[in-house]
Structure 1
Amino acid sequence: MISTAVDVSARRLAIGLIDIYCQRLSAHKGFACPHRLLYGESCSGRIRRAFSDQNLLTAVQSAAVQLGDCSRASAVLRERNRRGNVRCIVIPCCFPI
């Protein structure tokens, strides 16, 4: 089991990195999170909340699940686009899991 001090420090670091990603990279990448487009909440927001509310191991597991959910949301949006149900092309923000 990870000690409490290491757990808290690692989670704070993860949250800081997510914040930097949101402020410096996400706004300039040129496409939106498929999960946010489909369900209203971005991966970075959900993963940040996991690191705020859960222990390190559980948060890492939650992040992996979230990226899988985003990959599936991307597939749904691509299928909708293929059928002509939406007018934009969505580039996935995460790799297929």
Structure 2
Amino acid sequence: MLSSLALGLIDLYQRRLSPHKGFDCAYGALTGGLSCSAAVADLIARNGLLGALPGVVQQFADCGRVARQAGTRVSGVCCCGPIPIPFGWGR
């Protein structure tokens, strides 16, 4: 049930919010791979919400690493459940 809710919220974010935020996921844009939201949705679909957590943390760490290597400044908000968590990395 929580996994379905999380996937629904990711879908809502991808369709309604992401197109209007003004920037792309550093990982997806710079590597040609999945965006963080798509990667997280895939992890949740395959492993369930709790089982996906280590992969989710790794995905965000990889995104930050790629952004730093590219010398870009990235900031945003990761909504992990009901808690918005601001983040930023790069120059």
TM superposition score normalised by structure 2? 0.75
Unaligned runs of 5+ in 2: 78-86
Residue 30 of structure 1 pairs with residue 30 of structure 2: no
* Aligned positions of 1:7-86 closer than 5 A: 9-40=1-32, 41-78=34-71
Greater RCO, CA 8 A, separation 6+: 1
How well do the aligned residues superpose, as a CA RMSD in angstroms?
Answer: 2.0
Identify which of 49, 68, 74 aligns with 1:91: 74
Structure possessing the higher radius of gyration over alpha carbons: 1
Higher share of residues assigned helix: 1
Number of residues paired by the alignment?
A: 79
TM superposition score normalised by structure 1? 0.71
Which portions of structure 1, spanning 4 or more consecutive aligned residues, are displaced by more than 3 angstroms?
89-94
Deviates more, 1:42-51 or 1:60-69: 60-69
Cα deviation digits, residues 13-35 of structure 1 (max 9, x gap): 11001001111111111011100
Higher share of residues assigned strand: 2
The percentage of aligned residue pairs carrying the same residue is 35
